Amino acid sequence: MANNTADHPSGNSVAEGNHDGDFGCTVMDLRELMELRSGEAVTKIQNTYGDVQGICRRLKTSPVEGLSGNPVDLEKRHTAFGKNFIPPKKAKTFLQLVWEALQDVTLIILEIAAIISLGLSFYHPPGGDSDLCGQASGGAEDEGEAQAGWIEGAAILFSVIIVVLVTAFNDWSKEKQFRGLQSRIEQEQKFTVIRKGQVIQIPVAEIVVGDIAQIKYGDLLPADGIMIQGNDLKIDESSLTGESDQVRKSLEKDPMLLSGTHVMEGSGRMVVTAVGLNSQTGIIFTLLGAGGDDEEKKVKKAKTQDGIALEIQPLKSEEGVESEEKEEKEDKPVKKVNVTKKEKSVLQGKLTRLAVQIGKAGLIMSALTVIILILYFVIDTFGVQQRPWLKECTPIYIQYFVKFFIIGVTVLVVAVPEGLPLAVTISLAYSVKKMMKDNNLVRHLDACETMGNATAICSDKTGTLTMNRMTVVQAYIGDTHYRTVPEPEVLNPQTLELMVNCISINSAYTTKILPPEREGGLPRHVGNKTECALLGLVLELKRDYQPVRDEIPEEKLYKVYTFNSSRKSMSTVLKNTDGSGYRMYSKGASEIILRKCSRILDASGQPRAFKPKDRDEMVRKVIEPMACDGLRTICIAMREFAGEGEPDWDNEAEILSELTCLAVVGIEDPVRPEVPEAISKCQRAGITVRMVTGDNINTARAIATKCGILHPNEDFLCLEGKQFNQQIRNDKGEVEQERLDKVWPKLRVLARSSPTDKHTLVKGIIDSTVGETRQVVAVTGDGTNDGPALKKADVGFAMGIAGTDVAKEASDIILTDDNFTSIVKAVMWGRNVYDSISKFLQFQLTVNVVAVIVAFTGACITQDSPLKAVQMLWVNLIMDTLASLALATEPPTESLLLRKPYGRNKPLISRTMMKNILGHAVYQLVIIFTLLFAGEKFFDIDSGRNTPLHSPPSEHYTIVFNVFVMMQLFNEINARKIHGERNVFEGIHRNLIFCSVVLGTFALQIIIVQFGGKPFSCTALTIDQWLWCVFIGVGELLWGQLITAIPTHRLKFLKEAGHGITKEEIPVEDLNEGTDEIDHAEMELRRGQILWFRGLNRIQTQIKVVNAFRSSLYEGIEKPESRSFIHNFMSHPEFMPLSEAEEARVSVPTIQESGQEVEDFLRGSGGASSSS
C-alpha cells in the first residue's frame, strides 16, 4: 500500500503569474472532470492529463510550493475560473416589506372602514338635513365643522400608514442585521492553503483555482479539488449525495473532493479545481434556481436566510425510531445518531398561545360592541322614536353604522397586542448585538432567549473549562517517574532519540510552536494543543523537531492512522531507508496504548518484557497519581516490522499490537482562573453544570473538583462511558428512558465518553419527564463528532477558536473566546430577554384591558366610545412601539442570576404580574369612569356625552383621553419591575433609551392635545387641567407601591397565562425521538400555509437533475432513497444519516396529502419563520 502521494517533478518551483497565454484547461474542462466519480475520474485524469501533477502543471501551480500569491496571477485566475463566492439572494426591498406589513388582517379591516367613512363623509344626500332622520344631522355648529367629517377617516388611514412603515422599517433593519451577522460568520471562516511554500490561512472567498489547500479532520471543504496526497482520508458526502457511508479517498481509486462535504477522518492536500458557482455545490444551487441562496457560499447554510427555509426534514414514523434503535446496537459509532430538528423555542411557544388567547377575547369583545351599538341605534331610532326609514336618510344611517364598525374594529385593534412581535424582535436584536461584545456570536436568534431558561449545561473540559494551553509537567521514562521534566543528560541518548523522532514525525505537520508575538509573551501554539505540548517537551529536552520533519517530509510517510474519537490514538508508518521492513510510531491515551504494549524500554534503553501485571502496577504507581493531579496521560510507543513481506495495513487490531513503550507523559491543562466563579454563579442560578470529556476518570474528577462542579462530601456520580452505557441500556443494548432517568439527575462527570454517549445523555435529559419541570439543555462542543449533540441540544455552543467547521455549522451560538464565562453571560442575556418581554406584556396588557373595557362600556352606555379610533391607535400603536423599545432594551444585571430558571412550562405571566395588571387596571378604570360620568362637574365644563355625529371635540373627552395617556406613561415606569420589587426607579439612569422614550411620548402627547384638533378629536386644555391630568398619572406610582404591599399568595383567585406546553397536553406519540413539540396554537395560525407546498412540488421535478448527479456515483443502481436527496441537501448537512428503512419511506409531501401530515411538515418552516 503506497502512501497516497503523487510524485512531483523537482524542478517545478513556485508558479509565477507572468506566463503568456492562458491556462492549460478551461472552466468547462474542469467542470466536466469534477462531475465524474471514482473510477471514471481516475481514468479521465490518466487519459487527459497524465496524473494529478499534469493538472497542477496546466494550472501553473506547484504541488509543494503552491501559488506565488502574486496579485496579477490571482486576478487572472479570478477572471478565468471565477471567484469562490455564490452570490446571495437579493434582499427584500423596502416596498416588498411594506406590502407584507399591509397584509395584517386588523389593518386591512381598519383601512376598509376608513375608506368607507371617507367616502360617506363626502356624500351629502339631497334633503338629508331634514328632521326626519332623527338626531343624525343636528348639532353641526356651522358648515365648516360639517365638512370636517373626512378627517377621522383620513387620520385612521394616516396612522395605518405610520404603523406599516414602522413595521416594515423594523423588518428591514432586522434583515440587515441578520445579513451583517451572516457575513461576519463567513468572513471569519478561513482555510489553510500553501502559497510560496508557506502554510497560511486565507478567507474562504479568496481561494482560487490552482491553490494547494491543506485539509484535515473536521474541515468543511470550501471548493472542489483533486487530492494530491492524503493520509487515511475519509469524507462524509451525505450533504451532496444523501449517502450515509463515509467515502474513503485515495489517488488510485477516488481522488475527487467536493465542496460542502465534511472531512471525517485523516488529512491531506488537494489542488483546487472549481470554485463558487462552478463547484458542485454551486451547480446544484444554480439548478435549484437559488443562485446560491443568501450567502449560501461555500458553507452552504442550506437554509434560506429569511428563515422560511426549505428546512424540510424527513417525516419520521414509529418504525423509523425502532430501526434507529436497532442500528444503535451495531457497533458503528459513526452511524448511530439520528439528528432531529430543534423544538420551537420555549418563549415562542408561550407567546403564540398567549396571542391566540388574547386575539379570541378581542374578537368576541369587538363583535359584541358592534352588535350592541347597532341594536341600540336601531331600537332607539325606529323603535322608541318610531321614525320611518327614509330613502334620503340611508347614507346618514350608513355613516352611523360605519362609525360603529370603526369603533368595533378599534376595540379589536386595542385588544390585540401588536407591539408584542416588535418587542420580541427589538429585545432579541438588541441582545444579539450586545452579546457580540460578550464573545457570543448568535447564529439563531431564538437561542438567545432559550438560554435564559437553561436548566443544565453539558460542557467539554478541554479549552472550555481549561485554558487549552497544554504543557508536559511529569514523565515516566526508563523506569523512572520524573515529577518535573528531566534534564536531557539524565536520559539514555538512544531512548531520547527515539522519543524525539516519534513525537516530531507522528504528529500533524501543521502543528507547530512559533515564537511569541511580542517580547516576553508565551510561545504561540498552532494546531492540535496536545501535540503542541509534546513538541514543547522536545524543545525542553533541548532538541528541535523541525530538522527531523525536514528530513522526512510528509510525502515520505508510508501510512498514517490519524487520530479519531474511536481510536483515541495516532500512528505513523515509515519505510526503513535500507528498504527492509517498516517502523511505526504511535501515541495516544495511556490506558489504550499500554494495553497494546508487550515491551518497555528500561533505564539502559533496552526493551524488556511488559506483562499485564507490570501494566497494572504502572497504572497504579504512575498513571493514577498523574491523573489524580488532573494531568492527561499520553503514552508514546513504537514497533518495528521485520523484513518478511508487507503487513496487512487494513487490519488495525493486528498492526496496533506488540508495541514497545518509550515513555508516558503527564500533560497539564490548567483550569481557567475565572471558571470556578462562573460555575458557582451557574449553580446559584439553578443551573446544573455537567462535564463530558474524553479524558480518563481520575483526570476528569480532579479537574471537576478544581472547577467546583464536584464538591467534597456530596453524593454525585462520576461515570466512565462504559459504565454509563451498562447502566442505561437493557439486555438488547437499547437505551431505556427509565434507566437513564435514574442516572442523569446525579451525574456530574462523564469521562472517556464517545460522541454518541454525549448525544444519548443530552437527548435523555431533554426527553426526560422526571422532576417538576422539563429540562432545557445547553451543550458545548468543538469536534466534528459533537455535531449531533450540538444539534439535539436546546442551545448548542461551538468553540470559535478550537471548533471545527462542522461543529460551528451545527451550533446556535459560537463562543468567540472559547470561554465558559461567556456562557454565563449568555444565560444572563437570555433571562434578560425573557424578563424584557414579560415587562412589556405587563405594560401592554394593562393598556389593553383598560382600553377594551372603556371602549366597550362607553360604547354601550353612550353610543360612542370615549376614546376615539385615532386616539386608540395612538395609544395602541405608537405608544406600544415606543414602550417596546423602552422596556426591551433594559440592560441585564447580575441579580438575574440569583433566581432559578423558569423552565419550559412556567407561564409567561406570573401571578405577581397578573396582580399588577389587574391592580393597575382597577385604578385606571375607576378614574376613567369617574371622569366620564362626573368629570364635567368636577372640571366645570360641558358634558361630552351623547354629542351628535361630526360635532367638534369636547374638552371633557379630551381630558379623559389625556388622563388615560398620563396613567399609561407612569405605569410604564411601574412595568420596569415584574418580581414585585419596590424600587421601580432602580438603574433608570443607565437606560437612556427608556428615559428618552418616556420624555418623548410626553412631549408628543402635549402636541397632540394642544394642536391635534379635529383629527385627534382634541381641544387645547388649560394649565390647571394639565396639572390635574399629570397628578392623576403620578397616582399610578403610589398605587403601584400599594399593590406591591399585597402578598400575592393571599390572592388565590389569580390565574397565570401564557403557559408552555405541559406534559399532560403532549400526546404520547409526540414524546418519541422524531417529533417536536406540536404547538396547537401555532397550528391554528398555519392553515393557510398549505398553499406553500405547491412550490415544493416544483422541487420534485428538479430531483431528476439530482438523480443524474447521483447515478454517476452508483452506476446503474437505483436506490430507494433517491427521493430523499433534496431533504438531506436542504436541511443542514446532516451528520448522521437515516437508517435504510426510514430513508426508503421519506417523501416530499404533495398537496394531496392529509392536512395533518402537512401540518407536521410545516413545523419545520414555522419554527424557522417565527424565529428569524
* Cell numbers standing for residue 520: 516576553
CA 429/CA 421 separation, integer angstroms: 12
- Is the dihedral angle over the CA atoms 21, 25, 29, 30 positive or is it negative? negative
Give me the helix-helix angle, 150-187 and 105-121, nearest 10°: 150
What is the β-pairing status of strands 569-575 and 559-561?
Answer: antiparallel
* Cell numbers standing for residue 449: 432567549
CA 136/CA 416 separation, integer angstroms: 32
Give me the helix-helix angle, 675-684 and 820-862, nearest 10°: 30
Helix (H) or strand (E) holding 201: strand 198-203
Can you tell me which residue has the cell 486576478? 75
- Is the dihedral angle over the CA atoms 905, 909, 912, 915 positive or is it negative? negative
Query: Is the CB of residue 950 less than 8 Å from the CB of residue 139?
Result: yes
* Cell numbers standing for residue 807: 461543529
* Cell numbers standing for residue 289: 434556481
Can you tell me which residue has the cell 439528528? 339
Q: Rounded to 5 degrees, what are φ and ψ at 559?
A: -155, 140
Identity of residue 524: R
CA 191/CA 512 separation, integer angstroms: 17
* Cell numbers standing for residue 222: 470550501
Identity of residue 502: C
- Check residue 581 and give left, alpha or beta (phi > 0: left; psi -120 to 50: alpha): left
Torsion of CA 916, 918, 919, 921, to 10 degrees: 110
CA 290/CA 86 separation, integer angstroms: 10
Query: Is the CB of residue 1148 less than 8 Å from the CB of residue 312?
Result: yes
Q: Is 818 a catalytic residue?
A: no
**CB-side neighbour CA atoms (13 Å) of 557:** 29
3-class SS letters over 630-643? CEEEEEEEEEEECC
Task: Give 80: exposed, middle or buried? Use CB within 10 Å, 0-12, 13-18, 19+.
Answer: middle
Q: Rounded to 5 degrees, what are φ and ψ at 867?
A: -100, 120
CA 284/CA 293 separation, integer angstroms: 11
Which residue, 261, 184, 179, 197, is CA-closest to 65?
A: 197
Cα–Cα distance list, 24 to 30, 80, 179, 725 (Å): 11, 11, 39, 57
Query: Is the CB of residue 472 less than 8 Å from the CB of residue 537?
Result: yes
CA 911/CA 886 separation, integer angstroms: 23
Q: Rounded to 5 degrees, what are φ and ψ at 89?
A: -65, 145
Task: Give 1085: exposed, middle or buried? Use CB within 10 Å, 0-12, 13-18, 19+.
Answer: middle
Which residue, 818, 128, 718, is CA-closest to 460?
A: 818
CA 774/CA 759 separation, integer angstroms: 18
Query: Is the CB of residue 732 less than 8 Å from the CB of residue 747?
Result: no
Identity of residue 956: H
Looking at the DSSP bridge assignments, the partners of residue 193 are 200, 213
Specify the length of the chain in residues.
1172
Cα–Cα distance list, 83 to 204, 205, 209, 277 (Å): 10, 7, 9, 8
CA 203/CA 183 separation, integer angstroms: 12
**Catalytic pick among 211, 232, 460, 782:** 460
Catalytically active residues, by annotation: 460
